[in-house]
Structure 1
């Protein structure tokens, strides 16, 4: 009796496995996808476990008002587009790119705030039996470019041994689920930036390789009073600290199944030049 029961359970599990894993699978990225207005944007769609021709076709639509579909682009029907997006499709502002027989990208040259919404990728059936999923949805959020960076050096000429303060202030419109990182760098004669210290986007601190010992010894100090103000203090200035300093602010979101950090925009401003007078 126990053997029959175990066999019965095994058959049930096998049927459940086949039901879950059998059939076409259409996939898009895990959303929401957040981008800044004016940027180029691409959204990938792929299909697997299908029958029929190796090269599959795709259609992209946007869901309006929760249920109405606005047709965008199709890999096999040139007249698929809706009248309100015809000019953008014909100009190439909205297009698609095949990445392979089983994948395609929806592309925007310059995404607009009005492009925020839910996008649907569909694949016509080429299967002998309808099984699996034939469409997948992902939300796109487009935010305005409101990130601004301003900088200051309260005292740009110091004697060796004095402290130098590098101020970097950022302002932005309220944006849900975005985070900032701030980096201070020293511009070398080659024009390359030597990273001093980065704060964020997860409140962690990353120190440039040439400044690790100095940070460990307390020679670098963050000043974070809030309100978009970020300050870095270089204690006991050295002649090697002389040069042009740059502040870089980056805006980040967590995205994908693993919720990894993804940068959505970056802005840099020169803080100014620091002169260090050596002491005898």
Structure 2
């Protein structure tokens, strides 16, 4: 029984001692303050022995100093501040203001970027024994702004005035300022931002100014106070938004089969009424590969639901783009053609908080889905061409030549052939592969009537397309023989020419001799 009394006595003694244990407290952190504006850190001590007026010392552990301790200011030692703080303490920019004997505030009149770090409030002991805690610390972050932006205000004439950088958002109704009457004649002013933007991240203040009007009707400011509201962090959409397309990976279809692609927008907050611009893009490299190369727009749906087609306007009647559910969009090509092969991506541009953005509204974020490789496989086509000249009498100028090109196409379903005839002169015979006689085959699937241009789709139910199959025929040589009248023409021309030449020669000789004889007769003897 005696031992229990002893234990109880010791316990009560310990409780009584702890009831008067020293305790130092500061505000919970982290605290965010704007560089260039005042910082006020309260510190209080309780449960102490000794005089009612206690001393306080402030230390700073800078973020860039590796945890090294720096003395800031002390209530008992004028030589306490470290070198960086000595001139600031001397001119009163950094000081301790006492609210009572056991409560003080560290005041930094203009917070600097290098003032960022962990602040420790320490109270030297005045107790007979060390019990409790003698210091407390709080982290402080200095938010740097090049200027303090005014969002919206009520001027001294009770007019609402938006800040210069926020005027458009105010005109669009995204920022409002409302006055509410509270009990006791107090006024409460509520600012609302309907759609916050990433640039809205920062520290917010409310500044209240009291004005009076002098008898000369001029306004004079008599009081002003700034209230620290808090910090706002706007989460980036890129951290939550994701764009997926399906089917995934690679898709192989027969030409003429329908192609259906789905784009799904995930992670967009439901409470944010945002406009979406959804585009389907297709890329094919210059060498025909299904990756890289130039990317072209296939179709798009604007935030107001209007669909337009990009690189192939004919698809406007051969396909569709629809919003099938919240955040789900489909692209349908009713009849896939070889030119539709490529890598498809869904590109989504978000106008955060703006369901119907105007053309000048900047895009908040643009994200792209993974690529879906689409291969449209054409049917196997074999083509052969044989050229021949029909036998007949010798060909002469003015006769009709009949050349025949026999084309054989082996494939399933109907086919059309495009035939080209090429000719080169003899001699010399110059053979260029791209100028040789050739035939190209186009195949419809499913069959349709004639009149379709090869290689171009002709409506939602398929059309003709170029299979790329080619064949070169053998070369046929055509010789032209001269007619009988053609054979007499050359001797006649030669004979006439010769006769003219001989005649002229004889006349010239006779004339020359006659003139010489005449000249001798006239010479005097």
Scaled to the shorter chain, the TM-score interval is 0.5 to 0.7
8 Å contact kept, 1:61–1:70: yes
Where does residue 199 of structure 1 map in the other structure?
192
Gaps of 5+ in 2: 152-164, 180-186, 206-226, 233-525
Write the deviation string for residues 52-99 of structure 1: whole angstroms up to 9, x where unpaired.
111111111102345421001111111111012111111211111111
Gaps of 5+ in 1: 155-164, 170-181, 187-193, 201-221, 231-248, 254-260, 267-280
Where does residue 69 of structure 1 map in the other structure?
69
RCO (CA 8 Å, sep 6+): is it higher in 1 or 2? 1
Q: Does 1:151 align with 2:166?
A: yes
TM-score by length of 2: 0.31
Where does residue 277 of structure 1 map in the other structure?
none
C-alpha distance 117-16 of structure 1, shift in aligned 2 (>3 A) = same
Question: RMSD of aligned C-alpha atoms?
Answer: 3.9
**Aligned pair partner of 1:26 in 17, 24, 27:** 24
Where does residue 43 of structure 1 map in the other structure?
41
TM-score by length of 1: 0.54
Write the deviation string for residues 193-228 of structure 1: whole angstroms up to 9, x where unpaired.
x9997436xxxxxxxxxxxxxxxxxxxxx5x3x646
The SS at the match of 2:85 is helix
C-alpha distance 91-185 of structure 1, shift in aligned 2 (>3 A) = same
Tell me by how many angstroms 1:110 deviates.
0.6
Cα distance in structure 2, aligned partners of 1:198 and 1:228: 18
Where does residue 106 of structure 2 map in the other structure?
106
Tell me by how many angstroms 1:166 deviates.
2.1
Tell me by how many angstroms 1:34 deviates.
1.1
The SS at the match of 1:60 is strand
Matched pairs, number: 186
Where does residue 158 of structure 1 map in the other structure?
none
C-alpha distance 96-13 of structure 1, shift in aligned 2 (>3 A) = same
**Aligned pair partner of 1:166 in 155, 165, 171:** 171
8 Å contact kept, 1:36–1:265: no
The SS at the match of 2:171 is strand
Write the deviation string for residues 240-278 of structure 1: whole angstroms up to 9, x where unpaired.
xxxxxxxxx99459xxxxxxx951489xxxxxxxxxxxx
C-alpha distance 87-228 of structure 1, shift in aligned 2 (>3 A) = same
Write the deviation string for residues 140-162 of structure 1: whole angstroms up to 9, x where unpaired.
111012665523459xxxxxxxx
Tell me by how many angstroms 1:19 deviates.
6.9
Where does residue 130 of structure 1 map in the other structure?
130
8 Å contact kept, 2:119–2:139: yes
